[in-house]
Chains A and B, each alone.
Chain A
Amino acid sequence: MATVKFDEASRIYPGNDKPSVDRLNIDIADGEFLVLVGPSGCGKSTSLRMLAGLEEVNDGKIWIGDRDVTNLSPKDRDVAMVFQNYALYPHMTVADNMGFALKIAGVEKSEIRKRVEEAAKILDLEPYLERKPKALSGGQRQRVAMGRAIVRSPQVFLMDEPLSNLDAKLRVQTRTQIASLQRRLGVTTVYVTHDQIEAMTMGDRVAVLKDGILQQCDTPRHMYDRPNNVFVAGFIGSPAMNLLEVKVVDGGVRLGNGTYPVGRDHLKEASGDSVTMGVRPEDLTLTSAGQGIPVVVDVVEELGADAYIYGTASDAKQHQDVDESGADLPERPFIARVDGRRPPQKGETVYLAPKEGHVHMFDSESGKRLGD
C-alpha cells in the first residue's frame, strides 16, 4: 500500500501545442479511493496512464510512496490495472485461475496458496477454489477475475472505466461491489469514469478535470455543497444545478421582479455588473405569482414522493455551456424538485425562489466561486 502523488505532472502529445494534462497536482492518501472524472478529452484517462507508465510524463513527477516512478517501466511500478483482461481458463481450477500470474512472477507455491486463500475469503469464493470456472455463476466469475488482481497485492489499483461494457443494472451492482471491496482491501485505488454519479457514489474523493486542468479535488459532499467554479457546479449533481446570469443590485441580485439578498462580501469580488447564480433543483421552492423566477413547465417527471419539473425560465438568462471547441451547447432546461403529490401541470407558469442560503455565486467572467 502506498500514497500516490501527481506533482506538476504534464503530458503533451507530439504535434500538439496544448498539454493534454496540464501541471496536475493531486496527493492521494494511502488506502484512498480517488475517482478521476470529467467529459471526454478532459485528460482523466491520460492521467491514469501516466501513473501506470503507459504515457510519458513530459514535465513534473509522479510518486508512488516515496519512490519517484516517473521514468519507471509499467511492470516495475507495482500497480495493477484491474479488469483490462478477465479471461478465465476452463481447465484450471478457480485457485489456479487466481494464482497463475504469481507463478509466472516466480512466487513460492506456499505463498501463492496463502494469498489465493486470503483473496478467496474476501471475495466469498472459498468454497469454490477447487472447482472449474464453468461451475460458477457470472458474478462469481467476475470475482475470480478480480481475485487475479488482488493476489498480486499491488501498491495501487488502477481502473479505467471498468464498468463501461456492462448494462445499466449490472453496472450499479458492480459499482457497489467494487467500492466495498476496495474498502475491505484498503488498497489505494485510482478510478477513471466519465459518469459523475459513479464518481460521487464510489470515491472517497473526486477529482474533476476539464481540458487537461484539475478543476477541483474534494470529497463528494464538499464538492456538491461547494463547487469551486461554474464548470464543477454544472457537472456534478443529477439533475444538474441551474445556472443563471443575474444582475448585481443593491442588497443582492435581481431575480424576477424582486431582489434576492446576497451579502456584500460575496459580490464585492465580482468582475462585472452581473454574476452567475447557481441553485440546485432541490433548493428551489414554489412561491406565489410575481415573486421569484417565473418558469413555464415543459415536462413533469413524477418519481412518487418527488417530482422534477423541467421548464423554461423566460425572464432569466441561463448560463451558456460550451463544448471542448468553445461552441455553444444547447440551453439547459430549468429544473426544480417539487412535492410529488401536487406537481404543477405541463404548460403552467410557476414561480420559484431559492431557499435562503442555498445559492452559489460565480464570477461571470472567470467562472470562479465568489465568497463561501
Chain B
Amino acid sequence: MALEITAVRPDPALLDLPWALPLEHWPEEVLAALPRGISRHVVRFVRLSHRVLAVKEIKGDIAVREYHLLRNLGRLDLPCVEPFAVVRGRLDRAGEPLDACLVTRHLQFSLPYRALFSQTLRPGTAKRLIDALAVLLVRLHLAGFWWGDVSLSNTLFRRDAGAFSAYLVDAETGELHQRLTDGQREHDLDIARVNIAGELMDLEAGGLLEDSGDPVETSNRIVTRYGELWEELTALERFEGGDRWRVDARIRRLNELGFDVGELAISTDLDGTQIQIQPKVVDAGHHSRRLLRLTGLDVEENQARRLLNDLDSYRASQDRQNDDEELVAHDWLTSVYEPVTRAVPRELHGKLEPAEVFHEVLEHRWYLSERAGHDVPIEDAIADYVRTVLPGKPDEAAVLGVDTVEMPVVAMFPDGGAGP
C-alpha cells in the first residue's frame, strides 16, 4: 500500500514527516512541543513550512470522516480548527500497516482551557469560558451539528476583548444533520454539563482552581446560558398589532447578542390583530462582519464591537457624523488603530493578537485616566502599556494542548518570538 495524502492544498513538505514511525515515537526534532499527559488518541504538534500542525493518529475511515466534517463546518462558517490533510496507507519499517493520521492547522493565539487556568486568572474565567462555549454550541446546533462530546478540552479559546470566543477542535463524534431534534440538543447539553463539571473538578483536585465556586454549580451555567441564547434566537413571539416596534426590538436584541437576522418569519392571525414573529435564519458575527466591511479587519465578535465603539467615538470627536462611514473608518484605521498596534515591538508580537492589544490599551487608558483624574492621550497609554503591562504577559501565539493536559511549547514560529 502506498502513502496516500488527501489535502486541499497539499504541501510537499508533508512527505518529509516520518510517517513510517508510530506517532508516539516521532523524534523530538520534528515536534513543536513535547507531549505530556494522557489522551484518547496519540496527538503531536509538528512544525512544517513555518506552520504548526496538529497530527492525530486514528483509524483511516474515522480520519477521513472527521476531515470532511471539519471541512463542511468550515464551509458553514462555523468556528472550528481547519483540517489540513489525511495521511493513509502508512507502513512501518517492517511493512506492517499503521493507523492513519488526521492533520489540522494549529489555530494561532488559541488557548486550551488548562493553559488559561495555569495562569494567574481574573476571577470568573471559568464562567467566561462556559459562556463562549454556550455560544459555540448554539451556533453548531443551529447549523444542524450534533457534537456528541462537548467539553472544555475539545474546545480552543481565543481572547475576545476581555471575554473569549470558542472554537471546536474535535469533531470525531460529531454528525451533521439537516436539523437537530430536541433530544439531540438536550443530549449534547447534558454531555457538556457532565464534562465541564468533571474538568473543573479535575482542576480543583490539581489545585488549579481558586475560589471559582462549586464545579457542579458552575457547570450548570452551560445549560442556562445555552437555553437563554437558544430561546432568544429561535423563539416565536406574539404581540398585538399595535406593538409593531417589537419586531425592531427583537432584531436589535439579536444584533446585540452578535447575530444578524437573515430571515424573520412574520405572520398575523386572520383579522390581523395579532402578529407573530420568529427568526428563521440567524448568522453569528454581526459586529465582526460590519467591521470587516468598513476596515478590512478580521477579528472576533467582541473585539469588533469594541473597535466599532471606538470608531463611533472617533467619529463623534472629529465631528464627522455626516461623512461617509467608510471614509471615517479608513481614517480611524490609519490614525488610531494602526498606530496603537504598530507600537508593539516585534519581540512582543507573540503575546497577544493586535485587536486584543488594542482592546487592552483602551482599557489601560481608562485606568490611567481614572488615576490621573483627567484624559490621558492614547500615545501615553500605549507607551505605558508596552513598557509595564505587555512584557509580563505569557506568549500566546502558539500554546499547544491536547485533550486533557496542555503541553509546554519548545519551538515556535520563527517570526513570533514566542519561544521559551
Contact = CB atoms under 8 A, between A and B. Distances in A.
Contacts of A298: none
B128 to A, nearest CB: 21
A14 B178 CA distance: 9
Given A74-B186, A85-B195, A90-B404, A104 B181 contact: no
Interface in A74-106: 74-75, 84-93, 96, 100-101, 103-104
B182 to A, nearest CB: 7
A84 B149 contact: yes
A89 B202 CA distance: 6
A52 B206 contact: no
A73 B62 contact: no
Given A53-B183, A54-B183, A104 B202 contact: no
B72 interface: no
A134 interface: yes
A90 B202 contact: yes
Nearest to B36: A90
Given A74-B190, A75-B190, A96-B201, A54 B178 contact: no
B59 A165 contact: yes
Contacts of A100: 197-198, 201
Contacts of B194: 101, 104
A220 B153 CA distance: 41
Contacts of B195: 85, 87
A84 B201 CA distance: 20
Question: Which of A13, A56, A85, A103 is the most central at the interface, judged by chain B CB atoms within 10 Å of its CB?
Answer: A85
B288 interface: no
Nearest to B181: A56
B419 interface: no
A164 B153 contact: no
A173 B416 CA distance: 47
B179 interface: yes
B153, B178, B187, B403 interface centre (most CB from chain A within 10 Å) = B187
A15 interface: yes
A55 interface: yes
Interface of A is mostly: loop
A141 B38 contact: yes
A346 B179 CA distance: 54
B173 interface: yes
A96 B179 CA distance: 37
A212 interface: no
Interface string B161-205: 000000000000100001101111011001101110111011101
Given A53-B183, A55-B181, A167-B99, A87 B40 contact: yes
Contacts, number: 96
B404 A88 contact: yes
Interface size class of A (residues with CB under 8 A): 20 to 34
Contact of A75 (B58, B99, B186): B186
A67 to B, nearest CB: 16
B187 A164 contact: no
Nearest to A15: B178
Contacts of B146: 54
Nearest to A75: B190
A92 B149 contact: no
A118 B405 CA distance: 30
Contacts of A86: 40
Nearest to A56: B181
B383 interface: no
B356 to A, nearest CB: 29
A167 B99 CA distance: 9
B148 interface: yes
A155 B14 CA distance: 49
B183 A73 contact: yes
A133 interface: yes
A101 B38 CA distance: 20
B104 interface: no
B206 A91 contact: yes
Contacts of A13: 178
B197 to A, nearest CB: 5
Nearest to A53: B183
3 closest A-B pairs by CB: A91-B206, A89-B202, A91-B205
6 contacts: A52-B183, A53-B187, A87-B195, A92-B202, A104-B193, A104-B194
